[in-house]
Structure 1
Amino acid sequence: MATTIAAIGALWFTGQSLRATKDQYALSQQTVVTDRVHKAVEHLTVDKLEARLSAVFLLERLAKDSPADHSTIYSILASYVHTQSPVWKCRLVGKPGEPGRLEYDVQTVITVIGRRYTPYDTATTEIDLGETCLIGARLRGADLHRVNLAGTNLAGADLSGANLTGANLAGADLSNARLDGADLTGANVAGTILSRGPGT
Structure 2
Amino acid sequence: MTRSTFWRLVAGGIVFVALAIVCLTLAPGWFHPSLTDADLRGVGSAETRIGLQQAQAQLQNNVRGTVLQAIAGVLVVAGAAATWRQVHVNREGQLTERFTRAVDHVGSENRDVRIGGLYALERVARNSPADRDTIQFLLATFVRTHAPWAVGAPDGPEHPTPTVDESVSWLQVRAPDIQAALDILGRVPCSKNRPRLYLSRVDLRSLQLHNARLVDTQLRHANLARAWLRGVRMDSSDLKGTDLRRANLEGAVFRNANLGGVQFAGARVRGVDFREADLTGADLGGADVCGADFRGANLTGTAFAGAFADGATRWPDGFDTGRLTRPAGEKPHAR
Alignment TM-score, normalising by the size of structure 1: 0.81
Higher mean C-alpha displacement, 58-67 vs 2-11: 2-11
Q: Percent identity?
A: 29
Post-superposition shift, 1:174? 2.1
SS in 2 for 1:86: coil
1:38 aligns with 2:100: yes
Amino acid in the other structure paired with 1:106: I
Measure how far apart 1:74 and its partner are: 2.1
CA 1:8 to 1:150, structure 2 compared with 1: closer, same or farther past 3 Å?
farther
Please give the alpha-carbon distance, in whole angstroms, between the structure 2 residues aligned to 1:85 and 1:20: 48
Equivalent position to 1:132, from 197, 202, 207: 202
Corresponding residue of 1:93:
none
The answer on 1:75 being equivalent to 2:137 is: yes
Tell me the CA shift for residue 101 of structure 1: 4.5
Shift of 1:134: 1.4
Q: Output the amino acid matched with 2:146.
A: Q
Range with greater deviation from structure 2 (27-36 or 129-138): 129-138
User: Which residue does 1:168 correspond to in 2?
Assistant: 238
Q: Distance in 1 between matches of 2:105 and 2:134?
A: 17
Bigger shift: residues 42-51 or 3-12: 3-12
The answer on 1:110 being equivalent to 2:182 is yes
Residues 1:180 and 2:245 aligned together = no
User: Could you tell me how far apart the structure 1 residues matched to 2:86 and 2:260 are?
Assistant: 50
Residue deviations 1:104-139 (CA, integer Å, cap 9, x gap): 2111211222233x2xx2122233323322122112
Name the residue aligned to 1:192.
262
Asked whether 1:99 is paired with 2:168, we answer: yes
Cα distance in 2 for residues equivalent to 1:157 and 1:143:
15
Q: 2:91 maps to which residue?
A: 29
CA RMSD of aligned residues (A): 2.4
Change (3 A) 1:101 1:4: same
Q: Distance in 1 between matches of 2:166 and 2:241?
A: 28
Structure 1 residue 152: Cα displacement? 2.3
User: Is there any run of 5+ residues in structure 2 with no aligned partner, and where?
Assistant: 1-62, 151-155, 158-164, 266-282, 286-335
2:148 is the alignment partner of 1:86: yes
Amino acid aligned to 1:144: L
| Change over 3 Å in CA distance of 1:5–1:128 after alignment to 2 | farther
Is the Cα contact below 8 Å between 2:132 and 2:191 reproduced in 1? no
After TM superposition, the structure 1 stretch with the greater mean CA deviation from structure 2, 44-53 or 58-67, is 58-67
Q: 1:166-185: CA deviations, max 9, x gaps?
A: 32323322233221211112
SS of corresponding position for 2:182: helix
TM-score (norm 2): 0.51
Task: Determine helix, strand or coil for the equivalent of 1:41.
Answer: helix
Cα distance in structure 2, aligned partners of 1:149 and 1:124 = 19
CA change 1:14–1:55 in 2 (3 A) is: same
Structure 1: give runs of 5+ residues left out of the alignment.
Answer: 91-95
- Quote the Cα distance in structure 1 between the aligned partners of 2:198 and 2:64: 63
Letter in 1 for 2:225: A
- Tell me if the contact between 2:168 and 2:205 (Cα under 8 Å) persists in the aligned partners: no
